[in-house]
Amino acid sequence: MRYLVKIAYDGSKFYGFQRLNDLPTVQKEIEESLKRVFKKEVLIKGAGRTDKGVHAFEQCFHFDIDYDMGLESLRKAIQRYVSNYILVKSCHYVEDSFHARFSVKKKVYVYKINLGEASPLKEDFYLQPKFAIDIKKLKKVSKLFVGQYDFKNFVSGENANTVSLIYDIKIKKEKDILSIIFVGKAFYKYMVRNLVGAMLDYNKGKVSLGDIKKMLDYSQVPKQLSTAPAKGLYLKKIFY
């Protein structure tokens, strides 16, 4: 029997989602909780990896177990053994052919920037820039990234495939919080953070629109742009 579970978490308390030996990660904590629930090892498959410090409003994973305690009872059982920095939102029955990663149709990420007075209580959850933000400039440069491109110059590490499709990028301001919302097919390591970094570099006049366009059109451009800090990034929604 295969289950799909949706969770939220405070990424500032973890070294990312993926299991990393003895370091605290979301996957490790969930698997330890499932072991206590079912009295046996249970491995999970996540919809993707979030890096150290990246948060999630909705991360998903699946696992297999030949036992049915009911979905709400399962949700409560997992929640009982995880820390208060993880919220088990819901559990679902899925077909054996379902895969938390490979069945994804699109993902939504949001990057949050505090434009108001800096606060230590917001430091782990927002970028708090020490420079002026021109929202019109961010909207202008964001249009370059919408569409299908080889994002190799905006992805960190080695990846066999760096082509992806970004359906939309929206920029919204609510009170002092600026949100940059990315909707896309797939996002690779540091990709959203690198895109935000490029947008902020353009905002500061460090790079031109032409430079960024060239980085999209040619997969090997020797130009290093900024990587936005992990703390402002949230995995918001996954669509299957």
Active site residues: 51
Calpha distance 65→141 (Å, rounded): 47
Start-to-end C-alpha separation, the chain: 19
Calpha distance 138→178 (Å, rounded): 11
Contacts of 5 (CB under 8 A, 6+ apart): 30, 44, 60, 61, 62, 63, 75, 78, 88, 90, 91, 92
Candidates 174, 185, 105, 184; CA nearest to 142 is 184
Calpha distance 146→165 (Å, rounded): 7
